Amino acid sequence: MEAASDSQISSLVDILKEVDPAFEMDKTQQKHLKNYPVLQKFLDTHSYRSHYMFCLKRCTSAECPVCSISIDTRVPSDLLEKLHYLPLPVPDEGDRIDHYKPFSELWGSTPTGKFRPSLGRHLDDDEIDKIPFTASGENCRGFVNCEVCKKPRCFFSKKKLTGEQNEEVRKQNEDVEFTCGAQLFYTDQRLVYMEIRITCESHVSSHYFHKRQAYP
């Protein structure tokens, strides 16, 4: 993605000044937002913030001080009605308990960050998902990177992996979007285990450094 040019930034500032005449270019931090009541209210009522994304959606009200600016030159209002905030992952039920619900089922619902994989799990899930042996530097067999924070996370198995099994782990990592706190494999075919009581905020484990030292 390309950075905004100076002229793009200054035309945005012009629009922001039109919305909220108090707006100042050098006061654009979160703490300055209280100086701009119109913008603050706009963000409170037109945006959704989550760990993964920031969504902003125009409304169709002619009275809205922000969205009423050049309302007819952008998205038609009947199309706006059909646009929703992007949903966040929600676990499926029944036979598909190991999966997340399909996008089509969640589109249009209120997004919830409650089930984000990197948030860690409830106790019941922990029992199913925790490593059934003591994880250590010795049984760390390699690592995969989290799709969100990019930190390396060790995978563990009791026995050393064969070349074929290593290949299987590599393929699985290509197929799923691994994030901190989740397992790489579903319950019934677990070749290696990940630590689940971690989040993206957790430090890189000492097992990782042990592994790097042993096999530089």
User: Quick one: which segment of 12-20, 90-98, 137-145, 175-183 binds Zn ion (CB under 5 A)?
Assistant: 175-183
Pick from 93, 159, 107: nearest CA to 132: 159
Smallest separation, CB 64 to Zn ion (Å): 3
Using CB under 5 A as the binding rule, the residues of this chain from 42 to 61 that contact Zn ion are 59
| Member of 22, 64, 90, 119 binding Zn ion (CB under 5 A) | 64
| DSSP assignment letter at 16 | H
**Residue span binding Zn ion (CB under 5 A) among the ranges 11-19, 100-108, 129-137, 144-152:** 144-152
108 with 84: CB under 8 angstroms? Answer: yes
200 binds Zn ion (CB under 5 A): yes
Closer residue to Zn ion (CB): 81 or 164: 81
Two tokens, residue 62: 């002619």
Buried-state track 82-93, b at ≥16 Cβ within 10 A, e below 16:
eeebebbbbeee
- Report how far apart the first and last C-alpha atoms of the chain are (Å, whole number): 34
Cβ-based nearer residue to Zn ion, 105 or 126: 126
The CA distance from 54 to 45, in Å, is 13
8-state DSSP, 196: -
Smallest gap from residue 143 Cβ to Zn ion (A): 12
Q: Is 71 in the site for Zn ion (CB under 5 A)?
A: no
Backbone angles phi, psi at 193, to 5 degrees: -115, 145
Please tell me whether residue 148 binds Zn ion under the rule CB under 5 A. Answer: yes
Q: Please state the closest distance from residue 94 (CB atom) to Zn ion, in A.
A: 29
Length of the chain: 216
Q: Rule CB under 5 A: is residue 146 a binding residue for Zn ion?
A: yes
How big is the site for Zn ion, counted in residues (CB under 5 A)?
8
The amino acid at residue 42 is: F
Under rule CB under 5 A, residue 184 binds Zn ion: no
Token look-up 């994304």 returns: 53
Of the residues 13, 80, 149, 204, which one makes contact with Zn ion according to CB under 5 A:
149
Smallest gap from residue 150 Cβ to Zn ion (A): 7
Q: What is the DSSP letter of 149?
A: T
Q: Which residue has the tokens 């290696």?
A: 192
Should residue 176 be labelled a site residue for Zn ion when binding is judged by CB under 5 A?
A: no
Encoded amino acid at 161, one letter: L
CB of 202 to Zn ion, least distance (A): 8
Give the interface with Zn ion as residue ranges (CB under 5 A).
59, 64, 67, 146, 148-149, 180, 200
